[in-house]
Chain A
Amino acid sequence: MAVEAQEANFFTTKLDFIVNWGRKNSLWPFPYGTACCAIEFMSTETSPYDLSRIGSEYVRFTPRQSDVLAVQGTITYKQAPILKRIYEQLAEPKWVIAMGACATSGGVYDCYCTVPGIDNIIPVDVYIGGCPSRPEAFFDAMFEIQKKVSDESYMAQRKERLKEQWELLQAKTAQAKQELSEYSRAKAQELKEKAECLKNTAIRKAEFWKENP
């Protein structure tokens, strides 16, 4: 057994597959819970439903450590800047779930103070209906996110990212080159002026000694 394991201690796979497999089975949600849907999310966490079956039991309350932003409940205009800032703080890759009718479209609240759907502020990947959504619906949304994750290509994203970085690098190099040439031109000019100045002084000195031997 041990020998076998030593001998066959590798397997071949696609990098895309293994990265997506890791990502989709450890989607850590950030519950931006404001209203009733947050209570249903708490039920989703408990044993009858058990969110840890799909590896999402780690609820992180900081956007730096989570992958999925689950917006649960009504978003009012007073909250909108906060939600936007939290979305911007989430590290890539990130996905957004709009849980419940309020987050999706404003729901029953059609009033002076409620945002009619969070897609006015941030991009959304999955919408769930219901007022509030049932725990099963939240599971469905997580499965949708998982599907979305497995369709993504890490290599393609990497290519894009590298391309962006390459372009950035090129732009920066060009800028640096230009700056350098400008700098050297300025430096040369300065040196020239300095030399001219020295020369003038030397001439003036020579003339002085000539006149006053």
Chain B
Amino acid sequence: MKVLTPEGEEKNLMVLNIGPSHGATHGCLRYITALDGENIAASVGEIGYLHRGFEKMAERGTWQQVLPLTDRLDYCSAMMNNFAYCRAVEKMLGIEIPERAKVIRVIVNELSRIADHFICDAAAAQDLGSTTGFFYLFDSREQTMRIWEKLTGARLTNSYGRIGGLYRDTYEGFEEDVLAVCKTVEKNLHDVHACFDRNRIFLDRTVNVGCMTPEKAISYGWTGPCLRATGVASDVRKDEPYWDYETYDWNVVTGTRGDVFDRLMVRLAEAEESLKIIRQALKRLAPGPVSVEDPRVRVPSHERVYQDMEALAGRFKSVFEGIRVPAGEYYCGTETANGELGFTLVSDGSGHPWRVKVRPPCFTQFAAFHELVEGGMIADSIACLSSINIIAGELDR
């Protein structure tokens, strides 16, 4: 393509298409670039290759039937999405979940956060040519998966959250397993820091690449680790605490430059903070119920259903008609691994949601992708893409 540059030069630009099926696009997304030599003059992103109709499907079922679908939004940390959705519905119902459920949610949430951050960093390491980092980081993730299997029965898409609590209590030996994983995570973190921190190749590929200013990041609605990497200490867990996050002792991690290196390292540092929270939460794990005994949300157990007429009717009603959420419109944002995952819920007072709108954190990050890569080299765009952690399921819903 022959163009006249703003400086008045006549130049031949090459148009290069990347994706939707490319080794470094982590799922299906696509961007097309106009290259001036090796530098990117302009870039345009295109999404929607994994648009699976979450919002249309959510309108068809009851409020509880949305839960398995939320698993498949950010599939690297499925349970965080469950809890975020449950929290939004619980707020509308005005339900306070029991103490034990809160603590388990915090533990599971933070372990999921570690797993998600590790996947992002592992994929970034792989894209930058460091297979060693990939294997170190996946090691502790596999151990986490084993806990999930024992706890929920599934590896990836767990559906562990329930409106008003949890699917079931933890198994015997849960605490020891979590502590063992914490140890592995610490070891892996140490190894990965040894791998990356002073590695000349890694630093050359990441430092001062794909910089983002805080003003632009806020204008583009960035949240989570990517916003914190630009130096803005914004975290929903600290700002609007839920599940007693304010009582744990931990810090918000921020970066300074907002480049690829900061985004990757903020994730690793956040994993450390999550370890702190998990260790404190394990000490608070006291016996108690894991779901509220509110007849509006509680599905009666099978033992009661077989003996009690009222429980039978209650179960029948809650399964067929669904939970009756009071009519209204409400937005509730929860901090997940990628940033603030928001649910805008519209209820007409029946058992079916009228509208469920997801506010995916990836969407905002990919919308600003051209700001990151324009002016840089084409090889750096791959580093930029892996550092903002795009999960296609969440991006396109």
Contacts and interface: CB of A to CB of B under 8 A. Distances in A.
Is A in direct contact with B (CB under 8 Å) within the complex? yes
Given A46-B135, A86-B21, A108-B69, A40 B52 contact: no
Given A46-B135, A48-B142, A78-B48, A61 B155 contact: no
Q: Which of B20, B72, B119, B392 has the most CB of A within 10 A?
A: B72
A81 to B, nearest CB: 10
Nearest to B137: A46
A9 interface: no
Given A109-B57, A113-B52, A42 B138 contact: yes
Interface in B45-88: 48-53, 56-57, 68-69, 72, 75-76
B49 A78 contact: yes
The A contact surface, by secondary structure, is loop
A86 B19 CA distance: 12
A213 to B, nearest CB: 73
A39 B23 CA distance: 13
B56 A35 contact: no
B142 A46 contact: yes
A46 B143 CA distance: 12
B22 A61 contact: yes
A11 interface: no
Contacts of A73: 27, 50
Contacts of A39: 75-76, 119, 156
B393 interface: yes
Contacts of B52: 74, 76, 109, 111, 113-114
Interface string B10-54: 000000000011110001100000000000000000001111110
Contact of A132 (B22, B139, B157): B157
Contact of B50 (A47, A76, A132): A76
B188 to A, nearest CB: 13
Interface in B371-397: 392-393
A32 to B, nearest CB: 6
Nearest to A32: B21
Given A36-B393, A46-B138, A111 B56 contact: yes
A181 interface: no
Contacts of B392: 34-35
Contacts of B51: 76, 78, 113
A114 B393 CA distance: 13
A132 B76 CA distance: 12
A33 B56 CA distance: 24
Interface in A20-66: 32-36, 38-40, 42-43, 46-48, 61
B172 to A, nearest CB: 24
A35 B22 CA distance: 14
A78 to B, nearest CB: 5
Nearest to B145: A43
Nearest to B126: A42
A64 B393 CA distance: 27
A110 B27 CA distance: 20
Nearest to A74: B52
A112 B72 CA distance: 18
A163 to B, nearest CB: 35
Given A47-B135, A47-B139, A79-B28, A36 B56 contact: no
A150 to B, nearest CB: 29
B156 A38 contact: no
Contacts of B23: 61
Contacts of A43: 138, 141-142, 145, 155
A38 B27 contact: yes
Contacts of B28: 34, 79
A134 interface: yes
Contacts of A86: 21
Interface in A78-99: 78-79, 82, 86
B340 to A, nearest CB: 22
A47 B140 CA distance: 12
B126 to A, nearest CB: 9
A111 B56 CA distance: 8
A40 B75 CA distance: 10
Contact of A76 (B49, B72, B138): B49
A47 B27 CA distance: 22
B59 to A, nearest CB: 11
A113 B157 contact: no
A33 to B, nearest CB: 7
Nearest to A131: B157
B21 A36 contact: no
A140 B217 CA distance: 46
The 7 A-B pairs of least Cβ separation, nearest first, read A111-B53, A61-B23, A36-B75, A46-B138, A109-B52, A34-B28, A113-B53
22 contacts: A34-B28, A36-B72, A36-B75, A36-B157, A39-B76, A39-B119, A40-B155, A43-B138, A43-B155, A73-B50, A78-B48, A79-B49, A82-B49, A86-B21, A109-B52, A109-B57, A111-B57, A112-B53, A131-B157, A132-B75, A132-B156, A132-B157
Interface of A: 32-36, 38-40, 42-43, 46-48, 61, 73-74, 76, 78-79, 82, 86, 108-114, 131-132, 134
Given A39-B156, A43-B138, 18 more contacts: A32-B21, A33-B27, A34-B28, A34-B49, A36-B72, A39-B76, A39-B119, A43-B155, A46-B135, A74-B50, A78-B51, A108-B68, A108-B72, A109-B52, A109-B53, A111-B57, A131-B157, A132-B157
